[in-house]
Every structure is written in structure tokens, then in C-alpha cells.
Amino acid sequence: MLPVKFDARANKTNSGGVFQPRMSEFEDAKSDVDDDTLIAEYAAGSQAAAREIIRRLAPSVLALARRMLGDEAEAEDVVQEAMMKLWKIAPDWQAGRAKPSTWLYRVTSNLCTDRLRKRKFASSEEAPEVEDDTPGVVETLELRDRANAVNTALSGLPERQRLALHLRYYQHLANKEIATVLETSVEAVESLLGRGKRDLAKQLIKERDKLGLG
């Protein structure tokens, strides 16, 4: 294994403080390595492997946490916690048992659920509105309003329904993977998705006029 010293500062840019990965020769080589191997390499001491794992998995974990929590700072904390759990389990990671991304989704969803429960316990405030800021997707103001209405309605659904819908439609996971994340059967996932969409539609009917569907 090549000894590579990583300097996080070298990868920073001033473009809004967003991480822009610098693709070095070594990183190019790493991009062909599967996630399980990267975890094994990290466990053996490779920080380059850790950086590649972060580059691959952290953005989707952050997206899930953001959608579930609706709070950027809290979502970042959850990502940090979830990734820390991955670093700790790395020496005992069993390749082929679960996909690292699926494992991380499960850990992340559990961490988010814990935080949401604490939030509910601490305050009776409604869940915050989750803005759909997907660039280039929502082209008109009307569509943006509708997307925000759907996301707001989503935040009012029961946790498991909401999580199932997030994983299916935003993270593009197959029902089998969602079942692994939620630790349930594929049939139960199908049921959660069906009920989730029906409940979502019921919520949106109330907003029919506002959405320009009246």
C-alpha cells in the first residue's frame, strides 16, 4: 500500500466552502476499488482509502439526514456520527455481508430517528419544512412550490413511512435494500410505500387550491 499523506486543506476551495475533491493519480486508482476493499484498506491504516469512502458515501448519507431532519447542522452531526461508527467497525467488517452504503443508511436512519424522538419530546413544534434544493430539477416557481409542498407533507408522515419513501424516491434504493435498512421484509416495505403515498396524497388534497390544482 502506498503511503499517502492527506492534507484536507489542499482539497478545500473558496466556492461556497463546498468540498471539491482533488482527483490525484492515487484517487483515480482508488475509484475502481469496491467499498468492502476500501474498508479493509482503511482498517489496515490507509487514510487514502478513508478519503475515498467519504467521497463515495458521505454525500448520500448527508442527503438522507438532511431530508429526515431538515436541519443542515444536525444532519452534518449525524453524518459524522454515522461515519465514526463505520471507522470503529472497520477492523471487524465482514465483506459481502451488507453493502456499506446500506449499512450506513440504516445507522443514519436510526440516528435521525433518535434525534426526531428527542425533538418531539423536547418540543411539540411541527417538523421543519424541507426545501427541495435539487439544482436544475425544479424549473418553474409552480413546480418548486409543489415540490416543497410534497416535502412538507412528507415531514408529517410517520417515521417509517417517511423513511421508506425517502429511500425509494430520493435515494433510489430497491425495495430489498430498503427492507435491509428498515430491518423488515420486502412485503412490509411495499406496504409502507403504499400507505405512505396514500397518506401523502391525503395531506396534499388539503393544499389543492394553493398548489394551483383547484
Partner 1 sequence: MADRDTDDDLIDKMLDEHFGMEHSREAPISAGLMTRLIDDAAQASVRSAHTAHTARAPGLLDRLRSVFDGVGAWQGASVLTASALFGVMMGYASADGIAELPGFSLLNETLALDIEAEIGTFDSVGFDFDLPEG
Q: Is 3 in the site for partner 1 (CB under 8 A)?
A: no
Distance in angstroms (rounded) separating the CA atoms of residues 185 and 165 = 15
Q: Is 120 in the site for partner 1 (CB under 8 A)?
A: no
> Which of the stretches 71-79, 115-123, 156-164, 180-188 binds partner 1 when contact is defined by CB under 8 A?
71-79
Q: Is 171 in the site for partner 1 (CB under 8 A)?
A: yes
Distance in angstroms (rounded) separating the CA atoms of residues 46 and 39 = 9
Distance in angstroms (rounded) separating the CA atoms of residues 74 and 12 = 22
Q: Is 43 in the site for partner 1 (CB under 8 A)?
A: yes
Instruction: Mark 164-202 as b/e (b = at least 16 C-beta within 10 Å).
Output: bbbbbebbebebebbbbbbeeeeebbeebbebbbebbee
Q: Is 141 in the site for partner 1 (CB under 8 A)?
A: no
Among residues 120 and 176, whose Cβ is nearest to partner 1?
176
Instruction: Mark 21-41 as b/e (b = at least 16 C-beta within 10 Å).
Output: eeeeeebeebeeeebbebbbb
Q: Is 90 in the site for partner 1 (CB under 8 A)?
A: yes
Q: Is 62 in the site for partner 1 (CB under 8 A)?
A: yes
Q: Contact, 181 vs 102, CB < 8 A?
A: yes
Q: Is 6 in the site for partner 1 (CB under 8 A)?
A: yes
Q: Which of 4, 147, 186, 188 binds partner 1 (CB under 8 A)?
A: 147
Residues 6+ positions from 131 with CB-CB distance below 8 Å: 148, 151
Binding site for partner 1 (CB under 8 A): 6, 8-9, 11-13, 17-19, 42-43, 45, 47, 50-51, 53-54, 58-60, 62-63, 66, 75-76, 79-80, 83-84, 87-88, 90-91, 132, 134-135, 137, 146-147, 150, 169-172, 194, 197-198, 200-202, 204-205, 208, 211, 213
